[in-house]
Structure 1
Amino acid sequence: MQDCCVHHVEFGVRNGEEYLRKFKNQYKFALVATRFTKHLKQWVLLSGTARILLTQQMSPLANSVSDVYHVPWSRLLQANQEPSLSSIDSVYNVALQVKNIQAITERLSRSGVTIAKPLQTASDNHGEVKLAIVRSCIGNVVHTLIEDAGYKGPFLPQFTPVSDSGDQSQKLTTHLDHVTFACDSGDSGRILDWYSNCFGMRRFLISRDEDEASGFVIDSEDIGVRLKAFEYWKCAETGLTTGNRPDSIKFVIAEALPNQGPNQVDTFLHDHEGPGIQHIGLHTDNIVSTVAQLKDNGVEFAEPPYTYYTEVGKLEEICDIGEDVDLLRENGILVDAEADPGDGEGSGGGEGGLRYLMQKFTKPLSDRNTFFLEIIQRVGARGFGSGNITALWRSVQAYMNSQKENKS
């Protein structure tokens, strides 16, 4: 198995077949394994190294029901809540590979972290895996910790391989780029401290325009959001694995600015019934062709303001990096050059050594204004361009505002 920090991301869904069709037919993920029990239906999807686990809960799971891989996702991590079927879809589990799972779970337990599922072992004829599930400090988010060195199966024990799982010829995305959490206003500092103490994560600045103390702030008439980001520090001694790959996962925290009125973060918190994972970024090597193909496949996107491409210096910036302005405008793709010096890791830049990234947000995947996807291409850039951040979040806000107008 290729060495990377994130093993998989899990979606808790009410209709697994619907999401399965969506990811296979629209996003061109390959189905690689399944697992069906009395209480659960699960499907494992793969695009490049990005693995998504769809989990549909078929019946309420009482505490006496032992399932090595699962904890419910709908506010059900509250200790005194009765088991029930979820009324929402939620991306709630970012599974992390670890080197010494016993040591890390013991250390987390001593630190007061809630262990949702204690250390267990699962095995089949492909080998053995050790795993435990810990609760994050964010809403219903959990992390399955997995020690799977030497395991040769397509996913995990008890999952049945799918015969056509090797077909990745149509894949549009290559790996998971980042995960973004939506949290309560003023909570980002506590979250950063928790991930630093528990997993050795380290703050990194989203863009060169960010203030380290206050984060990256978008404060305008139509949007008020604060963003902060962190990633696993390769010198940490918490037992995560990252390898030397430039696509090591990044985490972003989004919180609404106080006294700004309702915005997309507040909308997420309301519709999701609490903090959680707002979106994940999927990396592609060619965002123009990927977005065009996704549109043809029926994927709906939140479009950026048309004026984005006429902003002062934007056309010159696009021309400098050698991209086609008309193609980017036609597909609503945002571009941001990042000229910051790198840290010696990762790939180089584009023409003239410029570092830049291109991005686009989808509309929410469920019937609520909760989780969506981001398609992103990095050309040497490790952070997130300030101009893109504002335009991307404004595109989501415009979409949500239009929905409110249609309902009124």
Structure 2
Amino acid sequence: MEDSCVHHVEFCVRDGETLQRTFLQQYKFSLAATRVTKLLKQWVLKSGTATCLITQQISSENNQSQDQYFVESEKNFDCKERQQTRKLDTVFNVALKVKNVASSVERLSRSGVKVLRPVEKYSDKFGEISIAVVKSCIGNVVHTLIQDDEYSGIFLPGFNPVDSVHNNVSSEETLAPTLVTHFDHVTFACNCGDTNHILEWYSKCFGMRRFMINSDEDSENGFVIDTEDIGVRLKAFEYWKCAETGLSLGSHPESIKFVIAEALPNQGPNQVDTFLHDHDGAGIQHVGLHTEDIVKTVSCLSENGVQFAEPPYTYYTEVGKYEEICDIGQDVDILRKNGILVDAEADPGETTDGSQSPNLRYLMQKFTKPLFDRNTFFLEIIQRVGARGFGSGNITALWRSVQAYLNNQEKSDAS
């Protein structure tokens, strides 16, 4: 199983009980730990190395009180972005494991990064961690930096481990393989024209670098979807272990992939603009969850009640698509039945396991519908077979599936 430099991804929601049940019952995550304070209720859910922290604020009456870990998501929007005062459900924190928190924060401070929480140490019977929180240049996004090489606990000090009895699963289910294994990527929705600034910020501050999404991407303009119903620009970046500055992120930096999505100018309403409106600003639009068997995973998730954004009806009849699916050894009827997209157009170069097998390099994907009551955050289920990038055909079809869902929802709301 692939290790990850992402320690956890944090949700801040109004109803944590319901969301944690969704992850337990529908996505088959396991409840690993909980924490309750005067200010917060928190649940830690795991599937493979993918760890989600769900946080629900109980009270914010005492503005002088601070939680040792939590930084309130609502206060982290840039003033120019945050226009509303309404409470919102959001995914706002991508926590990263670093080799040395103190030196990382020192470098980030010199680069002008806002430090929301200075370096602190916490310990319990399982050992000690060092932790700090810094503000990203994107909307309400923050990054908790965690040094946990001297810690053997289930999550962080102060969290209470939960045994399998509390997960409402049978012994057979406990032994069954997880549906998803790790975080594959995080996609941010940003304002039009902000992409290059974001890339420069993460390159300078975090030591990350641009990588081509696929062979159809233009080095200057990014991967552009400009059709009648979609106008989106995508660019991607990843941690560069040879960077002379930035963070030092451990032994598997290739697992960190960030994607930026912005609407094209003068294109009319689309899903990026919808996110920015409903989220009151830029932020995390979706997270990709990797699976070793997407057919089984999507089938199970559907049976468990997960709702997906279905691909265009014509996807499987596009010129060459049938042959492409057959060439990689997949069953067209099974993929069509489950609404799974396939793309054999991967980035040139080595596969993820270091082999040179271009005929086996492909990826399969599917988007869920939004998890919250507004059209903001959703999940992506993805299986990679050698491919490191994102196929051009899949990207267009995936984004079109979300746009079709939003369009249908608008028609339903208007009727």
Q: Tell me which of 352, 361, 364 is aligned to 1:355.
A: 361
Q: Among 258, 267, 270, which residue is 1:260 paired with?
A: 267
Q: 1:128 to 1:39 in 2, by over 3 A?
A: same
**Cα offset, 1:66, TM superposition:** 2.5
Instruction: Pick the aligned partner of 1:368 from 365, 374, 397.
Output: 374
Counterpart residue number, 2:171:
none
TM-score of the two chains, using structure 1 as the length reference: 0.94
Q: Compared with structure 1, are the counterparts of its residues 334 and 61 closer, same or farther at alpha carbon in structure 2 (3 Å cutoff)?
A: farther
Structure 2 residues without counterparts, runs of 5 or longer: 168-173
CA contact 1:9–1:53 (8 Å) conserved in 2 = yes
Contact in 1 for aligned 2:346/2:391 (Cα 8 Å) = no
- 1:52 corresponding residue in structure 2: 52
Alignment-mate amino acid for residue 243 of structure 1: S
Instruction: For residues 49-107 of structure 1, give each alpha carbon's deviation from its aligned partner in whole angstroms, at most 9, with x where no partner exists.
Output: 000000001111655222221011124556899xx996110000000111111111011
TM-score by length of 2: 0.93
Q: Once the 2 structures are TM-superposed, how far is the Cα of residue 245 of structure 1 from its aligned partner?
A: 7.2
Aligned-pair CA distance for 1:347: 5.6
CA distance in 2 between counterparts of 1:156 and 1:343 reads 36
Q: In 2, Cα distance between the equivalents of 1:300 and 1:80?
A: 34
Listed as ranges, the matches of 1:300-319 within 5 Å are 300-319=307-326
Tell me, in whole angstroms, the C-alpha distance in 2 between the residues paired with 1:404 and 1:314: 31
Name the CA distance, whole Å, in 2 between partners of 1:173 and 1:25.
Answer: 14
Q: CA deviation at 1:339?
A: 4.9
- Tell me if the contact between 1:176 and 1:283 (Cα under 8 Å) persists in the aligned partners: yes
Q: Which of 336, 339, 342 does residue 332 from structure 1 map onto?
A: 339
SS in structure 1 at match of 2:95: strand
Q: Hey, what does 2:135 align to over in structure 1? A: 135
Secondary structure at the aligned position of 2:325 is classed as: helix
Match of 1:24 in 2: 24
Matching residue of 2:247: 239
* Sequence identity (%): 66
Structure 1 unaligned runs (5+)?
Answer: none
The structure 2 residue matched to 1:401, chosen from 375, 398, 407, is 407
In structure 2, the residue corresponding to 1:8 is in which secondary structure? strand
1:190–1:129 distance in 2 versus 1, CA, 3 Å: same
Encode CA deviations 1:208-243: one digit per residue, 9 max, x unaligned: 000010000000110000000000012124333242
Counterpart Cα distance in 2 of 1:52 and 1:219: 34
The aligned runs of 1:129-168 (5 Å cut-off) are 129-164=129-164, 167=174
Secondary structure at 1:269's aligned position in 2? helix
Residues 346 and 389, structure 2, Cα contact 8 Å, conserved in 1: no
2:118–2:132 contact (8 Å) kept in structure 1: yes
Mapped to 2, the partners of 1:264 and 1:174 lie a distance apart of: 28
**1:152-202, Cα deviation, whole Å (9 max, x unpaired):** 000010001111289463521000000000000010000000000111001
Q: Is the 8 A contact 2:45 2:53 kept in 1?
A: yes
> Root-mean-square deviation (CA), in Å?
2.2
Secondary structure at 2:314 match in 1: helix
Note if 1:384 corresponds to 2:390: yes
Cα drift, residue 2 of structure 1:
8.4
CA distance in 2: counterparts of 1:311 and 1:348, whole angstroms: 30
Separation in 1, partners of 2:61, 2:248: 30
- In structure 1, give the amino acid aligned to 2:348: P
One-letter identity of the residue aligned with 1:5 = C
Instruction: Please report how far the alpha carbon of residue 344 of structure 1 lies from its aligned counterpart in structure 2 after TM superposition.
Output: 6.3
Counterparts of 2:151 and 2:25 in 1: how far apart (Å)? 29
> Which amino acid letter does the alignment assign opposite residue 294 of structure 2?
I
- Greater shift, 352-361 or 128-137, is seen at 352-361
Q: Is 1:175 the counterpart of 2:148 in the alignment?
A: no
